[in-house]
């Protein structure tokens, strides 16, 4: 894929995420996306076979960004709690920078899982995200900890991120001035450190 093709495709995906964040997935059209991306409508159809294929690619992009925000690889001296601590820090920073991203990802996931042709592909995106979290926890867990427990914990962390995004979206900024969405993760992180010292 050439640089121009890659850039134009990336521009269309970024526009898709913006339009979903602004207007919601139910009212999205390829015309709106083309307009937001500054490309012709034909360009959207050249790179993506259908609107649903574009939305699946946008879900893949959002999932990739979420995974990329995680700590690259655990340090040898990390304990299981250190991995959780670093995950909370990393996701808090991401949510501060892109507060709508987890919500957009959830909205795309919920929309696509109701389409029979794309249901499994959408579920694989969620599985990919949870597996990235679980991999961090498993690599730092003690020998006695089972992979199933690490996976369950990863699902819990993913749910916290999604819930934080939903809470942030529903909160009136006047009620919590100056509080970025990642604030809750920093509070949890601080309490986990207090608990570790005792």
DSSP letters for 16-52: HHHHHHHH-GGG--HHHHHHHHTS-HHHHHHH-SSHH
What does the block give as tokens for 6? Answer: 């890659």
- The average pLDDT across 167-185 equals 59
* pLDDT confidence of residue 35: 96
* Higher per-residue pLDDT: 145 or 28: 28
Cα–Cα–Cα angle for 20, 22, 24, rounded to 5 degrees: 45
- The average pLDDT across 110-118 equals 93
* pLDDT level of residue 147 (50, 70, 90 thresholds): confident
Domain boundaries along the sequence of the chain: 1-48, 52-197
* pLDDT confidence of residue 42: 94
* pLDDT confidence of residue 97: 85
* pLDDT confidence of residue 176: 52
Q: How far apart are CA 180 and CA 196, in angstroms?
A: 25
Q: Is the pLDDT of residue 181 over 70?
A: no
pLDDT above 70 as % of the chain? 80
* pLDDT confidence of residue 194: 39
* pLDDT confidence of residue 71: 87
Q: Is the pLDDT of residue 177 over 70?
A: no
* pLDDT confidence of residue 193: 47
Write out the DSSP string of 50-111: SHHHHHHHHHHHHHHHHHHTS-SS--TT--HHHHHHHHHHHHHHHHHH-TTHHHHHHHHHHH
* pLDDT confidence of residue 197: 41
- Tens of pLDDT, residue by residue over 4-17, are 778 899 999 999 99
What is the third-level CATH fold of 1-48? Arc Repressor Mutant, subunit A (1.10.10)
For the domain spanning 52-197, the CATH number is: 1.10.357.10
- The average pLDDT across 169-187 equals 58
Q: Is the pLDDT of residue 174 over 60?
A: no
pTM for this predicted structure: 0.84
* pLDDT confidence of residue 195: 40
């Amino acid at each position: 894929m050439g640089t121009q093709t890659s850039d134009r495709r990336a521009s269309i995906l970024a526009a898709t995420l913006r339009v979903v964040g602004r207007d919601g997935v139910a009212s999205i059209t390829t015309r709106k996306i083309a307009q937001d991306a500054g490309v012709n409508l034909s360009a959207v159809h050249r790179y993506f076979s259908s609107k649903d294929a574009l939305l699946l690619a946008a879900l893949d992009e959002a999932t990739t960004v979420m995974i990329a925000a995680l700590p690259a690889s655990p340090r040898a001296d990390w304990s299981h709690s250190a991995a959780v601590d670093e995950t909370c820090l990393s996701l808090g920073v991401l949510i501060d920078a892109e507060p709508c991203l987890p919500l957009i990802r959830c909205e795309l996931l919920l929309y696509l899982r109701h389409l029979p042709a794309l249901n499994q592909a959408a579920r694989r995106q969620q599985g990919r995200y949870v597996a990235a979290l679980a991999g961090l926890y498993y690599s730092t867990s003690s020998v006695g900890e089972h992979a199933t427990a690490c996976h369950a914990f990863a699902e819990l962390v993913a749910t916290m991120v999604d819930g934080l995004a939903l809470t942030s979206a529903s909160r009136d900024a006047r009620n919590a001035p100056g509080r970025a969405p990642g604030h809750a993760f920093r509070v949890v992180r601080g309490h986990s450190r207090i608990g570790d010292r005792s």
